[in-house]
Structure formats: structure tokens, C-alpha cells
Structure 1
Amino acid sequence: MVGEPSPQLAALEAALSALGHEVAVHGHDGVDADLVDRLRDAWTTEPPEVVHAHSWLSGMASVLAVGARPVAKVLSVPMPGSLDAEVQRLERLVCRRVDRVLAPGSAQVRRMAALGVPRSQISVVPPGVDVERFTPHGPSPGRGAVHRLLAVGDLVVHNRFDLPISVLGVLGDTELVVAGGPLRRNPEAKRLLRCAKHYGVQDRLHLLGPVDDMPALYRSADIVVCPPARSAFGTVALEAMACGVPVIASAVGGLADTVVNEVTGLLVPPLRPADLVRAVRHTLADAALREAFGAAGRDRACARFSWERVAADTARAYARAAYGAAPALQRSCR
């Protein structure tokens, strides 16, 4: 596997290894001028059966390093996609040179199809979650109100944490906890505090910064709110569901695939505060509904998004990629 080091990459490596696959990870930091040479050197004497790249840069470097060798090439496409014309040209070029494209959800399947990738060449392999770490059972911190909403992610504008802040203005005895950073010298953190002051809820907004024990924090919430304005993988929703917490999310990107509307939580149109208010009110008012959403979310996380399941789906995609690479193998033997 080739990609920038991340918890998701490390978890996939471990899960594939547990299934009996021999996995080597070639990590790199952003743009790496020596990446192609390092990969080519590593694969000269012992080429892999499958190369799995986890970004457009990794994909292009892998294609160049493999060259004419009969090696199956797999690409996991990132989310969100770029609108830059140069990047899109790179995307098309890489997609034409690999044997299998792994898309995290339906939005990326449509995007790959728009780039000209045949649907038969695409496998849907979602991100995974550690269902042994993120569980409904365990400690949880106390809270300062009857109800707690939780939002998780970097403090950046497109995550739109101002929307759940606005919800507090029409809810009684409910607090919003935001886990993510940075807090210092961050204009978005200052904007959120001004927003809370505008709605008169500054005493019920808690910006925690990065949190180490996220499972405990998830368990302390009545609802996890995921209100981004644009495509997202949905990892936060997965972790919340694995902890048995209902999710209210924008119907964008991977969130629309992860959260099953009216089963594991509610999906609302992005950037629609009134719809978010109605969804939060409806869910907070019904404890039995929250319990049902949480139980269904836990079941879905374990059945569809455990790393064991994701690794099995990935291994099947590798097999299909190797089958697609067979013509190249035949040509190399002529």
C-alpha cells in the first residue's frame, strides 16, 4: 500500500494482515519528489502482486514505478473531489492506468463515472471503524445540561458548526460540545464564539479542542450532529454509531451512505437550519427513538463498517484487480 500515514491506513493494514495477507506500507508526506524512485527500487527484486494507492499522487507514483510489470494496480479515490481542471486531468490519467478503483460511497462512484471510469471497474469500499474500541459500553464524562449535542471535527468553515450553535437558541437545557481544533489563533474558533454570543448561548457552548478518549465523549452525547456543507467521509458518524449514539447529519457525500435516514438517525438537507432544528427537537423529545436509532447504528457499524468487513471487501477488490491485470501479464509473456 502507498499513501500518507493515517489511522485509517494503519487499521486497514492490520485488518488485511489478520486475514493472512502480507502487506507492506510505503508512506510518504505530501508531495515527495523521490517517491517514484523509492518505489521502483523497492519493487525491482520483489515486485508485489497488488499495489494499492490511497491518493492521486500515490496512484501516479505507483503507476510510474510499476511500469510494464504485471502488477495489479488499485486506487482508493479520495473525498471530496477537486474542481481544479489540472487535478481532474491527473485523476482521469491515473484512473485509466489502474485496474480497479475503490470508491468510499455512491457520491464518489458517480464522480468516477463522470470521469469516464466504467462502473464495472469500480468497487465500493467504505471507510472502517474499530468496533472493539468504539462501543456503547464504558465510561462517559458528566455533562452540564439535561441534553448534550456533540459535534466532532476540525474547526473549519465548511464543517458548519455554527448551525448546531444556532439550534441551541431554540432549545432549553441543552449544551453543545465541539471536539476538534485548533483553538488557538484560529479565526473559525473565534467566529463560533461570536455566533454563540449572538444567539445568547455562550454558556452552553463548549469548545474542547482535540480529545484523546473519543469513545467516552461519544457515549456522553444524546445526539451527534454532523452538519458539513460539502462531501465528507462520514468517519465521525461511524464512530458515533459504533458507540450506539444517534446521528443527525447533512445528506452529503459519505454521510448519505453511512447514516440510514429514520433508522440510525436522521438526514437533513445541508445549510438548512430550520430542518436541523426540527430534526434535533424531534429526536431529543423521544428517548425511545434515540435508543432505537443507537441500537440500529451499532448493528450497522458492526455489520458493514468493521475493519474485518472492510478488509474482506478490499481483498475481493484486489482479486478482481488481479483478474483485470491478466491481459497485461499475457502480453508480458509473449
Structure 2
Amino acid sequence: MRVAMVGDRSRPLTALTSALAAQGHEVVVHGHDGVDADLVDRLRESWRTEPPEVVHAHSWLSGMAAALAIGDRPIAKVLTVPTAASGDADVRRLERLVCRRIDRVLAAGGAQVRRLAALGVPRSRITIVPHGVDHELFTPYGPAAAKGEHFRLLAVGDLAVHNRFDLIVSVLPALADTEFVIAGGPVDANPEANRLMRCARHYGVEDRVHLLGPVDDMPALYRSADVVVCTPARSTFGTIALEAMASGVPVVASAVGGLVDTVVHEVTGMLVPPLRPADLLRAVRHMLADSALREAFGAAGRDRACARYSWERVAADTSRAYARAAYGVAPALQ
């Protein structure tokens, strides 16, 4: 099929594009930094002489721009739902408006399906297509980053309040011989970085909390971890958990958003209630105390990442969604 991708040039979009091309699709990416009238005009002009069969947008605004550029032409419109829900009334109106113009909506998991249902999207127009992981890049096999004799808890992500890295800092005093490493930034002149280190000083664990900033060799860093900890307070796709699982590392994660779908409790890791330090401590302590359990969770996570979340599998699921959008379009929302 001729497919037009509309979105920013992120690593996941690039990986999906490559996987779709490998399956025989002709994919053109219309990357953009922002969405405005100029984008609508550029898309409309690009599709004037050789329109695609499917347009796949990767944000609400990209979806609206694509729908406006397509107009009433018989081009299938597909949207991948962004991660975070907004409580803003104007944003929710935009989301409902876009959904009325889209033939098929791709949700990463159950949390997004429920969110779309709240927007009035029929279940028959939703396809669950999870995010993928490069299981050939993130693998248990290869060099690991250097570390000392301590156990290593690893968290990955922007140094932002919603990631709640402070929860891990708060339980560190009860975890002897354990360090907490955070990969992500920015570190310099970042109020959250300063707050985390003040928190570490408060709990007397400043020497065991390390802010690395952005890291180039993430596969090696994952391999060095005993447990990867994901403690966001709000919905997330679970990409970090996927990379950890592909690397053969067990995960302790908050039971929010896509993490509920990605991490299989007591199979590939452990899920804990969000914002509950006592439950987080119990899960981490249990996992650090049992090397065989960590190895079993890591192996199961690797198997799950390769079987369910490879980009080849994600591209195949996406291809089926394209076919349903192009050849079996459901009625528009009333």
C-alpha cells in the first residue's frame, strides 16, 4: 500500500516506517516540527497528483492536519493515539473532533482503549497496536557498563516530576548495598535534578544516587542493572520497560497506563500501586534478594519483548489496521 506518515521524526516512527517498508509498503514520511496551516497546504499539494491509500498520523494535531488536507477524497485515515490524556476541555474537544474524521484509531493498550471509549469512539474502530522495541539493539548479549559491588537500580527518562524518581530515593535507605542510577536529563540548571539531590541528602543516600544525564550506550547501561524501576505517576507507553525486558532485565513498575499491558506481574517483573513507597520497597527488596527470580523474570521479559513487541510484529498489526481502514471503513461518529 502507499502510506503517508505524518508526525515528528521520532525513533519509533522511523523504526515503524522501516518495518513497514520491509513488508512491501511504499511509505513516505511527512515530518514536521509544528502543525499549522502551512502543513495542511504542503500535505494537500503533496497528495494532489499521487494520493496515498492510507494516511497515518501520530498526534491529534497531525491527525487534524491530515484530515483537512484529505478533505472528502477516499483516502483512509489512521491515527496513533498519543500517550498522555489531557484534562483541558479545549483539548478534549479537539480529540473528539479528530476522532470523527478518522477511520481507524490505533491504541497501545487497555488504558487508551478506555480513554477512546470515553471520547465516544466505538470499539469496532479501535485496533490495539503496541509500541515496538528494537530487540536486536537492546539485548542481554554484549558488554555491560561498569559498576561496583552494589546492586544497581536503574531508572530512565526525563528528569521531571511526573516520573517520580524521588519515590525510589525515599526507599533507598532500606536497601543496603544498593545504588540508584538515573539516565536522562537535563541535569544542569534543572530544578528537578536539584530536588532529587536534596531528597537524597535528606535520606542520607546522596553517595548512592547518580544522575548520569543522557547516555549514548543505553544497551550497555541496561545490561549493568539488576532491576529497572519505572515509577511514573501518570500514563506512559512503557517504552523503558520494553527496552529493559528486551535486555533481559526484570522490571518493577507502577501499575499505570501502558505499563499494565507491557509488564506481566510476577512473570516479567512486578507491578505495584502508583505512589506507594512501601509497596515499591517490598517489590524491589523481594527481587534483589533472589537472583534466580531476577534471572527468570529477565528471560521471560526477553521472550515477551521479542515475540510481542518486535517492530516486525508491530508492522504486521499496523498493516492489518491499514487494510481495515482502507477496505472496511466503519461509519463516522454521529
Change (3 A) 1:254 1:326: closer
Q: Structure 2: which 5+ runs fail to align?
A: none
Which residue, out of 144, 165, 169, partners 2:169?
165
245-254 or 164-173, which moves further after superposition? 164-173
Contact 2:35 2:65 in 1 (8 A): no
SS at match of 1:208: strand
1:304 corresponds in structure 2 to 308
1:4 shift after superposition: 1.2
Alignment of 1:20-39 (within 5 A): 20-39=24-43
Alignment of 1:58-137 (within 5 A): 58-137=62-141
| Matched letter for residue 246 of structure 1 | P
Which residue, out of 251, 260, 284, partners 1:247?
251
Q: Structure 1: which 5+ runs fail to align?
A: 329-334
| Matched letter for residue 316 of structure 1 | R
Contact 1:99 1:324 in 2 (8 A): no
SS at match of 1:232: coil
Contact 2:80 2:105 in 1 (8 A): yes
SS at match of 2:79: strand
Alignment of 1:124-273 (within 5 A): 124-273=128-277
TM-score (norm 1): 0.97
Contact 2:103 2:330 in 1 (8 A): no
TM-score (norm 2): 0.97
1:98 shift after superposition: 0.9
Contact 1:77 1:103 in 2 (8 A): yes
Q: Which whole-Å CA distance do the structure 2 matches of 1:214 and 1:112 have between them?
A: 33
Q: Which whole-Å CA distance do the structure 2 matches of 1:233 and 1:326 have between them?
A: 27
| Matched letter for residue 283 of structure 1 | M
SS at match of 1:24: strand
1:5 shift after superposition: 1.3
Q: Which whole-Å CA distance do the structure 2 matches of 1:11 and 1:125 have between them?
A: 14
- RMSD (CA atoms): 1.1
Q: Segments of 4+ in structure 1 off by > 4 A? A: none
Contact 1:180 1:209 in 2 (8 A): yes
1:107 shift after superposition: 0.3
Q: Which whole-Å CA distance do the structure 2 matches of 1:327 and 1:107 have between them?
A: 24
Deviations 1:191-249 (A, max 9, x none): 00001001101001110000011000000000000000000110000000000000000
1:167 shift after superposition: 1.7
Change (3 A) 1:148 1:73: same
Q: Is 1:276–2:280 an aligned residue pair?
A: yes
Contact 2:134 2:310 in 1 (8 A): yes
Q: Which whole-Å CA distance do the structure 1 matches of 2:331 and 2:181 have between them?
A: 54
Contact 2:125 2:330 in 1 (8 A): no
SS at match of 1:253: coil
Contact 1:241 1:294 in 2 (8 A): yes
| Matched letter for residue 253 of structure 1 | G
Q: Which whole-Å CA distance do the structure 1 matches of 2:331 and 2:145 have between them?
A: 57
2:293 corresponds in structure 1 to 289
Contact 1:70 1:325 in 2 (8 A): no
Q: Which whole-Å CA distance do the structure 2 matches of 1:230 and 1:322 have between them?
A: 34
| Matched letter for residue 315 of structure 2 | A
Contact 2:35 2:62 in 1 (8 A): no
How many residue pairs get aligned? The number is 328
Q: Which whole-Å CA distance do the structure 2 matches of 1:184 and 1:55 have between them?
A: 30
Q: Which whole-Å CA distance do the structure 1 matches of 2:310 and 2:214 have between them?
A: 24
Q: Which whole-Å CA distance do the structure 2 matches of 1:103 and 1:327 have between them?
A: 19
1:331 corresponds in structure 2 to none
Q: Which whole-Å CA distance do the structure 2 matches of 1:271 and 1:311 have between them?
A: 35
Change (3 A) 1:326 1:80: closer
1:168 shift after superposition: 1.1
1:144 shift after superposition: 2.5
2:324 corresponds in structure 1 to 320
Deviations 1:126-153 (A, max 9, x none): 1110000000000011213331000000
Q: Which whole-Å CA distance do the structure 2 matches of 1:291 and 1:327 have between them?
A: 49
Change (3 A) 1:221 1:327: closer
Contact 1:158 1:229 in 2 (8 A): yes
